[in-house]
Structure 1
Amino acid sequence: MAHLLLREGQGPPTVGFVVSRAVGNAVVRNRVKRRLRHLAREHVSSLPGSCVLVVRALPAAGSAPQRVLAEDLSHCLGRLTVRG
């Protein structure tokens, strides 16, 4: 799940991650954050300037393969940028 907030002014896009305990223990949560951070780097250039993107990892993200996370993130960002 992702939320996109458009801000006034100049500046680069900001990306944040919310990974709750429902995803798994600390090791699993940190691994999910690292994987999502790596995947989000590919999409930052396509985001509107000075926006804030918040990605919330659902519990299934803890056991999802990298390919599935990449597809889900691309799908969410595609829906957000079309709407925005």
Structure 2
Amino acid sequence: MKGSDLLTENIDKHRIHHLMEHWIEHNESHVKSFNEWGRKIGEAGYAEVAEKILEAAQKMEECTQKLQQAKDIL
């Protein structure tokens, strides 16, 4: 068996679905934290830093949407 076969032999719909669920949940946790900390950091006077953190939260939400779309295709 080739090395690449070893990497793909355990990939099935169930495993992919499980990974997608995990990644989505993980991203949602980060979004919540980024938004909370972005607000706090902004209130502490670091507006520019807060803006970037909130932008990161938005990008993470976009990432989560793509993962959800991929999961829906399954």
Measured against the shorter chain, the TM-score band is: 0.3 to 0.5
User: Over alpha carbons, which structure has the higher Rg?
Assistant: 2
Give me the TM-score of the superposition, normalised by structure 1.
0.30
* Structure with the bigger percentage of strand: 1
Give TM-score, length-normalised by structure 2.
0.33
